[in-house]
Amino acid sequence: MNDVAQAVRRALEEDIGTGDVTSQACVPADRRATGLFLARQHLVLAGTEVLPHMYDQLHLRKHDGDEVRDGETIAEVRGQARRLLECERTALNFLQRLSGVATLARAFVEQVKGTRCKVLDTRKTTPGLRMLEKNAAAAGGVTNHRKGLYDAILIKNNHIAAAGGISRALKNARAASQLSIEIEVRTRAELREALDFGATSLLLDNLSPQEAADWIREIAGRATVEISGGITLQNVRAYAETGANFVSSGAITHSAPAVDISFRLELL
């Protein structure tokens, strides 16, 4: 079972438990209905990949990455009325949350338009929902960073401290793996040590745009540069204009507000 199917199964089990007692009490078992998912604000859609795991009869009117206007229909589902009702809140929770991520991601991408800088997401995701949230970020136009601790080496300050310094951390990483290596530098001395030791991908964390631009001038193209730490919609353009290759923001996944989507049920 893939990540999406597992997430949907857990979410439905959490909500339905031993049964939707309200629907069972009120709605005849043989009653059939159609349900419409409707946008109640302008949004960028994400999360439709969960819907086939809930509904047998599904017609998508919009797809992940689409801009949807207030009042437009996102999807139509059909089936037993009880089933539509018991899945309603779980489906909306996924769509509202993931479309919120996509909508915020699109706003970040729009802010850096015209620069050569790409926006990255991070691992600051909801436990158990990482791939769904990263897919949502990608639907908004953001570039996915590493999926986890297993697919790229990112040496941060605590790794450097545990390894015994910049050079030692880089040497150990190169000897142990063929994966790409990025290393965080926090001082000019660390920056110079990393460059002298042949680092080709640098992470600059918690610098002002002016400081970052100064460091990037010293790097002079010898390594690709990612900037992180306190990146917001209000300042991402300033960081993108420093000459950085990438800016990353955890806010895209950890602080995206849910968007407004409703579900309207109609009897067949």
What CATH number should be reported for the domain holding residue 66? Answer: 3.90.1170.20
The length of the chain, given as a count of residues: 268
Domain co-membership, 136 together with 172: yes
Domain co-membership, 246 together with 149: yes
Domain co-membership, 141 together with 68: no
Q: What pLDDT does residue 18 have?
A: 96
Q: What percent helix, strand, coil does the chain show, rounded to 5? A: 45, 20, 35
Domain co-membership, 101 together with 128: no
Total domains in the chain come to: 2
Neighbour count for residue 111 (Cβ, 10 Å): 20
Cα–Cα separations (whole angstroms), residue 10 to 48, 90, 129, 134, 207 = 17, 10, 11, 19, 41
pLDDT in tens, the chain (268 residues): 588 999 999 999 999 999 999 999 999 999 999 999 999 999 999 999 999 999 999 999 999 999 999 999 999 999 999 999 999 999 999 999 999 999 999 999 999 999 999 999 999 999 999 999 999 999 999 999 999 999 999 999 999 999 999 999 999 999 999 999 999 999 999 999 999 999 999 999 999 999 999 999 999 999 999 999 999 999 999 999 999 999 999 999 999 999 999 999 999 8
Q: What pLDDT does residue 22 have?
A: 97
Domain co-membership, 241 together with 135: yes
Strands 118-120 and 43-44: unpaired
Q: What pLDDT does residue 33 have?
A: 98
Domain co-membership, 227 together with 101: no
Strands 153-155 and 118-120: unpaired
Q: What residues are annotated to the active site?
A: 89, 124, 156, 184, 205
Cα–Cα separations (whole angstroms), residue 29 to 79, 81, 83, 84 = 11, 8, 9, 12
**Phi and psi dihedrals of 181, rounded to 5?**
-125, 125
Domain co-membership, 206 together with 156: yes
- Rounded to 5°, the CA angle 33-59-107 comes to 120
116: three-class secondary structure by DSSP: coil
Q: What pLDDT does residue 1 have?
A: 58
Domain co-membership, 243 together with 121: yes
Q: What pLDDT does residue 28 have?
A: 97
159 vs 81: CA distance, rounded Å: 54
Domain containing 127 equals 113-254
Residues 252/137, Cβ–Cβ less than 8 Å: yes
Q: What pLDDT does residue 78 have?
A: 98
Domain co-membership, 122 together with 249: yes
pTM attached to this predicted model: 0.95
CATH number at residue 241: 3.20.20.70
Q: What pLDDT does residue 226 have?
A: 98
